[in-house]
Structure 1
Amino acid sequence: MRATSIMTNLHVADVEAAKGFYTGYLGLSTEEFNLGWAARYVSPETGAMLQLVSADATASEDAVISVLTDDIEGAYSQAKQLGYEIVHPLTTEPWGHRRFLVRAPDGNVINVGYHSD
């Protein structure tokens, strides 16, 4: 698999309540998306980014990072071939993101996705 981007998923109790600190104080002022339970904030000056996540809306577990790839089907096949536990199957989510969640050998859950935008 080839990762094209990796973003930290920071668990927060409430995305709306938390975003002021990250957008104001840390300067991650551009909101790239906000699903209510997950939102991505970026600094337009530096490109630094962070995703705030309260609870995954469609998967049974929350991921610690999100990894984007340009070959989601290949990444999914490779994860299965290597025997990694698939926590959430390859799915095109209602918000348009195609993804799956896989458990790393250390126990961390990773969100692997592709977005055509």
Structure 2
Amino acid sequence: MRVKRIVTNLPVPDVEAAKSFYRDYFGLSNEEFNLGWVARFTSPESGANVQLVTRDATAPEDSVASVLIDGDVEEAYREAQRLGYEIVHPITTEPWGVRRFFVRAPDGNVFNVVSHPD
């Protein structure tokens, strides 16, 4: 598995209410996507970004970060299982087009391991 990008998932009560702070104050003016419960905001100059999350739409727990991988998400899933890590959300193709699973790190943090279809 090769990690392409890691994006912090910040918990917010309301994406729409929170976005002006991240857009206007931090300059993350590029709204890459907004599904209502999760939205990613990016700086057009630096590429710095953050995701705002109210509550994950399909997983039983929220993740602290989304780890975008280059390659086979099924292979990453099998490796997590082989290493004995807790799978919090099974490998799933989500309605918004990504393939992902959630894994708990030994420190308790939950990560969304995600791959976009080619």
Q: TM-score range by the shorter chain?
A: over 0.9
Q: Where does structure 1 differ by over 6 angstroms across 4 or more consecutive aligned residues?
A: none
1:2-59 CA distance string (max 9 Å, x none): 2110000000011110000001110000000101000000000010000000100100
Q: Which runs of 5+ in 1 are unaligned?
A: none
- Three-state SS of the structure 2 residue aligned to 1:105 is coil
CA distance, structure 2, for counterparts of residue 116 and residue 43 of structure 1:
24
Partner of 1:76: 77
CA distance, structure 1, for counterparts of residue 34 and residue 84 of structure 2:
33
Partner of 1:52: 52
Which residue type is aligned with residue 41 of structure 1?
Answer: F
Partner of 2:41: 41
Identity across aligned pairs (percent)?
69
State the TM-score, normalized to the length of structure 2: 0.96
State the TM-score, normalized to the length of structure 1: 0.97
1:69-92 CA distance string (max 9 Å, x none): 122111111001111000000000
Partner of 2:97: 96
Partner of 1:111: 112
- Three-state SS of the structure 1 residue aligned to 2:17 is helix
> How far has the Cα of 1:116 moved from its partner?
2.5
- Three-state SS of the structure 1 residue aligned to 2:78 is helix
Partner of 2:18: 18
Q: Which runs of 5+ in 2 are unaligned?
A: none
- Three-state SS of the structure 2 residue aligned to 1:55 is coil
Partner of 2:7: 7
RMSD across aligned C-alpha pairs, in angstroms?
0.8
